[in-house]
């Protein structure tokens, strides 16, 4: 499944690049990145047995449409969780369309395909609204229309970017509300990020996220977690 998805992404990327060469009116931009994290954290869930992972992907954008490919792989074994070192256990493919509805309002709509090892693959639709103002507040609604029907998550976030010499710093906060059997604020996250440009196209990036369970059901299912990561990115 993952090989098929990866091949499809490469084919679409090659096709888009060919189109951009043939038609100068279409501007294609993108990036590719790879990095390490001390664990895999998703919406408060720790998914790598508290062992380090390699994460990487690429994005290709043209005319407001972005095609993204992302994968997570274990570095070491975790027998208790049944995770094997050196194996990818999740691959995501995202199709996104983003545009500015006005000077103040930006809109994103898209679909995320989660291709999983050891669990059923599934799809999420999402719609996001962002305000182009102080702290850049945004609300994104995720709806699983596939394997976990009627699961919805409302993600409210704010953030701020800071220029510190050559460093680009970012701080952010996020709250996830689970609209399913829990019907509660699931977790909150605080994040810090830093990006250093090595060249015009290459950057070194580091991030730190602290996640805290909030509702009663969340506290029974997940723990407070910290995750740090370091990656290198190439833009083109």
pLDDT in single tens digits along all 236 residues of the chain: 444 445 445 555 555 555 444 445 578 999 999 999 999 999 999 999 899 999 999 999 999 999 999 999 999 876 566 667 778 899 999 999 999 999 999 999 999 999 998 889 999 999 999 999 999 999 999 999 999 887 899 999 999 999 999 999 999 999 999 998 789 999 999 999 999 999 999 999 999 999 999 999 999 999 999 999 999 999 99
CA-to-CA distance for 188 and 209, rounded, in angstroms? Answer: 10
pTM for the full predicted model = 0.86
Q: Are 146 and 123 in contact (CB under 8 A)?
A: yes
- Measure the CA–CA gap between 235 and 52, rounded to whole angstroms: 25
Q: In this structure, are strands 65-74 and 138-144 parallel, antiparallel, or unpaired? A: unpaired
Predicted local distance difference test score (pLDDT) of residue 119: 86
Residue corresponding to tokens 């992404």: 9
Q: How far is 130 from 150, CA to CA, in rounded Å?
A: 24
Lookup result for tokens 């005319």? 63
All structural domains of the chain, each given as residue ranges with its CATH number in brackets, are 29-235 (2.40.160.40)
CA distance 118 to 221: 19
What is d(CA 60, CA 57) in angstroms, rounded to the nearest whole number?
10
- Burial pattern 142-174, b for ≥16 Cβ within 10 A else e, equals bbbebeeeebbbebebebeeeeeeeebeeebeb
> Residue 26 is encoded by which pair of tokens?
């279409």
């Amino acid at each position: 499944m993952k090989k098929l998805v990866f091949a499809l992404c490469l084919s679409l990327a090659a096709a888009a690049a060919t189109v951009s060469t043939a038609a100068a009116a279409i501007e294609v931009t993108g990036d590719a990145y790879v990095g390490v994290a001390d664990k895999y954290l998703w919406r408060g869930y720790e998914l790598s047995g508290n062992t380090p992972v390699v994460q990487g992907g690429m994005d290709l954008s043209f005319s407001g449409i972005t095609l993204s490919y992302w994968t997570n792989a274990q570095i070491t074994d975790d027998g208790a969780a049944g995770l094997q070192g050196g194996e990818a256990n999740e691959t995501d493919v995202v199709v996104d369309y983003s545009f500015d509805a006005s000077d103040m309002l930006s809109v994103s709509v898209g679909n995320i395909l989660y291709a999983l090892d050891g669990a059923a693959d599934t799809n999420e639709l999402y719609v996001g609204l962002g305000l182009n103002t102080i702290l850049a507040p945004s609300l994104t609604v995720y709806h699983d229309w596939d394997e976990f029907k009627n699961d919805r998550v409302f993600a409210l976030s704010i953030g701020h970017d800071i220029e510190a010499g050559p460093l680009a710093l970012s701080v952010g906060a996020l709250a996830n509300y689970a609209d399913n059997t829990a019907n509660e604020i699931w977790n909150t996250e605080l994040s810090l990020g830093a990006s250093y440009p090595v060249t015009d196209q290459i950057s070194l990036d580091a991030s730190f996220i602290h996640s805290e369970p909030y509702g009663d059901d969340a506290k029974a299912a997940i723990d407070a977690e910290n995750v740090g990561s370091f990656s290198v990115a190439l833009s083109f």
